[in-house]
Amino acid sequence: MTVVLDNLAQKISSQLAIIYEDVDIDLDYQAFANQLIDIMQISVSVQSPEPYQNHWSEQDIIMITYADSVISDNQLPLVNLRSFMNQYVGASINSVHILPFFPYSSDDGFSVIDYSSVNEAHGSWHDIKAIANERRLMADVVINHCSSRSKWFENFTKGEGTGHDYFFTCNADDDVSAVVRPRTSPLLRATATANGEQHVWCTFSHDQVDFDFRNPEVLAQFIKIFRQYLDAGVSIFRLDAVAFIWKKLGSPSINLPQTHEIIRLIRSLVEHAKPDAVLITETNIPNTQNLTYFGNANEAHCIYNFSLPPLLINTLITGNCLYLKRWLMSMPPAQNGTTYFNFIASHDGVGLRPVEGLLSEDEVDTLISTMQSFGGVISWRSTPDGDQKAYEMNIALIDALKGTVDGIDELGFERFICAHAIMLALEGIPGIYIHSLLGTSNDYDKLNHTHHNRSINRRRWYADLLAEHLDDEESSHARILSSMLTLIDLRKAQPAFHPNATQFTLHLGLSLFGFWRQSLDRRQSIFCISNITDQLQSVPIGELNLVLTETWYDLISGLVISDLTQLLDLSPYQTVWLTNKKPE
């Protein structure tokens, strides 16, 4: 064994000691550390990964999609998805996040029956690998829970076999009032087993039964899953609902120290197996808590910027960027080796917990009522006091931005593109939901069929109908896709849009939202300014502190600015990217 491998084993052993310190088990930490290293197939010739390395650049854009977002009668969905990306997205987007593509029983994939298989209705591992050979592939590790129809849970009820001791249980009369949850259903599920009735912990639903990571075998099982996904071509791992994985009676059972240590352990193993692999934590929680998942550049490489969607939508429907600007100014620059994962729409709703402490209750109430007036629905959660509180707004982004607090107007397209122009320019890696690329509106048929609020933004497109729309240049879907890809291609050509490039917030009043980016080599600056109102706005160019000796170019419109004494007029929802580097 090399010194490097010995050091890794010692590091893993120390992490295990922290995780299981308060667990009453007899565990040889050194032997278990070596077992995990063997599972991950880390060779004796391994090199220690260089710390603080950025495994990304301005070239990286991630499309978020379900495996079956594009369907047809004669081809499997994963084949359709690959064809769609190659024909309509091309080289503009180099990465894809395929949401859980495994056999499942509920929650559109997030109640996994078998982690080792691809859902036959979607395709096969061959199809997954074919996509991974063409684009960087991001996949979910649904690490907090699995399906109650899984073989593991079946063995739990039998009291024997793999999985019989994988699930967290407690007594029916235990005090769980402090537990933080995103749902209103009862936390405990009474389950008949060979060992009598047991009460299984269910953070999300009674079909999603929570694992008990106090059992080291659960951790070992998930390390096997990471290894299998690496072998299938996955290089970006989304740790779903990871904040909840460690439970402790009498505590909130969220963000516990053991959770952070488990993430650090997974990071240690994965980065030694594949140095450029990336971990992204999905923690839909208040902003200050979310930031802790960076650790000291030793936990998540990326964290979801969950506060961005509600704050940006609020900005564009109110025409006031106060709260968005305050938040941006408060966000610490991500140190090298970490960055933000930016998104403004996803398969889930627009979370409201991430704006706790950022928006006032009145602002949130106005935001909620406006989304409802645009056809959105609201999902609720139970607080520890037993109250019902809005948890997320379920609405397609194109519908969320079709008007302002004053009602629907004719500027929905401009507002929608403005939102993405802002998101694409921010520090971090952009993630764009397929239905934002396509301008898909609320799917009421699916909502009425499933009675699940999130279904409103999870449409399945028939491939031939989608092609008909996208091949028609006059259709709204083709217009949106063309505009989005143009912005994406512009972004990718700018070193100042590197995810870790310098960013400063500009102070341009409340009707103009702006920030400044500078490339890592300091050769390119970009002033990103957006009119976030439905009225013409002007800004004296001299107030931007542009360097007088240079000519400035708007990358989006092609405008050339040589006279810095003039006014810059911005139409409703227009964005400019002013750079000192002449476009090629």
User: What domains appear along the chain, each with residue ranges and CATH number?
Assistant: 502-579 (2.60.40.1180)
In degrees and rounded to multiples of 5, residue 452 shows phi and psi of -110, 125
- Determine the length of the chain: 584
Cα 231 to its chain centre, rounded Å, is 23
Q: Of the candidates 21, 511, 552, 483, which has an alpha carbon nearest to the alpha carbon of residue 261? A: 21
Three-class HEC string of 465-500: HHHHHHCCCCCHHHHHHHHHHHHHHHHHCCHHHCCC
- Catalytic, 240? Answer yes
Q: How many CB atoms lie within 10 A of CB 350?
A: 26
Which neighbouring-strand residues pair with 280? 238, 302
Q: pLDDT tens digits for the chain (584 residues)?
A: 456 788 899 999 999 999 999 999 999 999 999 999 999 999 877 778 888 999 999 999 999 999 999 999 999 999 999 999 999 999 999 999 999 999 999 999 999 999 999 999 999 999 999 999 999 999 999 999 999 999 999 999 999 999 999 999 999 999 999 999 888 889 999 999 999 999 999 999 999 999 999 999 999 999 999 999 999 999 999 999 999 999 999 999 999 999 999 999 999 999 999 999 999 999 988 889 999 999 999 999 999 999 999 999 999 999 999 999 999 999 999 999 999 999 999 999 999 999 999 999 999 999 999 999 999 999 988 777 777 889 899 999 999 999 999 999 999 999 999 999 999 999 999 999 999 999 999 999 999 999 999 999 999 999 999 999 999 999 999 999 999 999 999 999 999 999 999 999 999 999 999 999 999 999 999 999 999 999 999 998 888 888 877 889 999 999 998 888 888 999 999 999 999 888 87
Question: Which amino acid is present at 482?
Answer: S
Considering the entire predicted model, what is its pTM?
A: 0.96
236 contacts 277 by C-beta, under 8 angstroms:
yes
Query: Which of 347, 286, 339, 292 is closest to 311 using CA atoms?
Result: 286
DSSP 244: G
Task: Burial-class residue 41 by CB neighbours within 10 Å (0-12, 13-18, 19+).
Answer: exposed
Give the active site residue among 68, 240, 399, 534: 240
DSSP 514-545: EEEEE-TTS--EEEEEEE-SSS-EEEEGGGGT
What gap in Å lies between CA 238 and CA 232, rounded to an integer?
Answer: 15
